[in-house]
A and B are shown apart, each in its own frame.
Chain A
Amino acid sequence: MDNFEKYITENKHLFDEHKADKSKIWQAIESELEPPKTIRLWKSPLLKIAASILILVGVFSLTNSFIINGFRSGTQNNIVHQELRDIDTYYKDLVSFQVQLVKNNPKLQPQDKEKFLSFMDELDEEYNILKLEMTKNLNNEYILEAIVNNYKKRIELIENLLKQINDSKKSNNNEGYIL
């Protein structure tokens, strides 16, 4: 690079002599962009997951109290109760596994995860309160079966959400801006 070239490159900032008509250009840009995204509660996967967990915890506590009350009411249904408790434990573990998957999901921002975890803590508190409140006996096998089915549906919902997150991650990876 000779002196003339060096002189120009050293003074290149002086070539920025124009001022853009900011408001005019922005107006045009804004009209071409989609309206600002309003985050609707049920559109956010995180809230969907959180809501599902809330329902799950509620259902779980309900089941638990039924089982406890069932035991209190006598020993005639012990085998049935044991079976239901096993099913309950199985689904509880499955749910916590799914929650772990959500926690480990790289698609979610750390602050979102933190929000998610604090939400979970709140739900745990709520669960304890519910457990204390659910002392009335409504021992009915059909209801319990329905509750288990409900569990299954919630898990399915979480699985779908995780799949959606992963799918969107994949599709993001596929799009590249080629210059």
Chain B
Amino acid sequence: METNILYTHKDLVEKSKSGDRNSQYRLYELYVDAMYNISMRMLGIKEDAEDIVQDSFVEAFKNLTSFRYESTFGSWLKRIVINKSINYLKLKKIPVTPLDQHEYHIGEEVSEPVKSNDINKVKNAIKILPDGYRQIISLYLIEGYDHIEIAEILGITVSTSKSQYHRAKKKLIEIVNVL
């Protein structure tokens, strides 16, 4: 079953590898919205997200021969989008991890409880989270990466990833509670 998932859209991927423009477009159509949303969550600016999505697809199609179904095509592409988004933030000197004391570890401290679960409030709260916090919350809770993967993506240690995540979550709950 797992193998079948890895080979999702294999036919389209194989045809795209040989440069078939129709198959490339069909793959693009299948994944563009998901990729655009990922980039929007990372960057928050429409034009920037569009540029990243564009670059990511170009890179993906140009390097498709190196894709060997070790993951699904979707997660392979997603990683390209995430990496490009992070690089873009670094280039713009936007901190991808908040600079304040991120070497200090915060244990499993009990945060303020959430007053009400309202997905719209959470969505709005994530949007207004400071840069760095927003990315780590998105990577962990929405994109589904674990701390080892996040550490790799952001170029930080696993413990920094964990502590940053806890800070970000605390901040997120604070915002949700005042919205």
Complex interface: chain A residues within 8 A of B141 (CB) = 5, 8-9, 12
* Listed residue (A15, A19, A30, A37) with the most chain B CB atoms within 10 angstroms of its CB: A15
Complex interface: chain B residues within 8 A of A8 (CB) = 119, 122, 141-142
Q: Which of A3, A14, A20, A176 contacts B36 (CB 8 A)?
A: A20
- A113 to B12, alpha carbons, bound, how many Å? 21
Judge if B144 is at the interface, Cβ distance under 8 Å. Answer: yes
Judge if A42 is at the interface, Cβ distance under 8 Å. Answer: no
Judge if B105 is at the interface, Cβ distance under 8 Å. Answer: no
Complex interface: chain A residues within 8 A of B66 (CB) = 175-177
Judge if A90 is at the interface, Cβ distance under 8 Å. Answer: no
Q: Which of A9, A14, A15, A25 contacts B50 (CB 8 A)?
A: A25
- A20 to B80, alpha carbons, bound, how many Å? 17
**How close is A50's CB to chain B, nearest CB, in angstroms?**
19
Q: Which of B35, B41, B65 contacts A175 (CB 8 A)?
A: B65
Judge if B25 is at the interface, Cβ distance under 8 Å. Answer: yes
Interface size class of B (residues with CB under 8 A): 35 or more
* B119→A11 contact, CB < 8 A: yes
Q: Binding site of B, secondary structure by majority: helix, strand, loop or mixed?
A: helix
Q: Which of A4, A19, A20, A21 contacts B173 (CB 8 A)?
A: A4
Judge if B85 is at the interface, Cβ distance under 8 Å. Answer: no
* A20→B53 contact, CB < 8 A: yes
Residues 20-45 (chain B) with a chain A CB within 8 angstroms: 20-21, 24-25, 28-29, 32-37, 40-41
- A20 to B39, alpha carbons, bound, how many Å? 11
Judge if A132 is at the interface, Cβ distance under 8 Å. Answer: no
**How close is B92's CB to chain A, nearest CB, in angstroms?**
20
* Listed residue (B25, B57, B62, B126) with the most chain A CB atoms within 10 angstroms of its CB: B57
Judge if A142 is at the interface, Cβ distance under 8 Å. Answer: no
* A177→B123 contact, CB < 8 A: no
Interface size on A, residues (CB 8 A): 33
Judge if A72 is at the interface, Cβ distance under 8 Å. Answer: no
Complex interface: chain A residues within 8 A of B80 (CB) = 179
- A5 to B66, alpha carbons, bound, how many Å? 35
Complex interface: chain B residues within 8 A of A14 (CB) = 119, 123
* B20→A36 contact, CB < 8 A: yes
Q: Which of A4, A7, A9, A16 contacts B37 (CB 8 A)?
A: A16
Judge if A79 is at the interface, Cβ distance under 8 Å. Answer: no
Judge if B169 is at the interface, Cβ distance under 8 Å. Answer: yes
* A33→B37 contact, CB < 8 A: no
- Interchain residue pairs with CB less than 8 A apart (19): A3-B114, A4-B114, A4-B173, A8-B142, A9-B144, A12-B142, A14-B119, A14-B123, A15-B41, A16-B33, A18-B40, A18-B49, A20-B53, A22-B28, A26-B28, A28-B54, A29-B28, A33-B61, A179-B79
A-B contacts besides A12-B144, A20-B32, 9 pairs, CB < 8 Å:
A7-B122, A9-B144, A16-B34, A18-B46, A20-B50, A20-B53, A25-B54, A177-B67, A179-B80
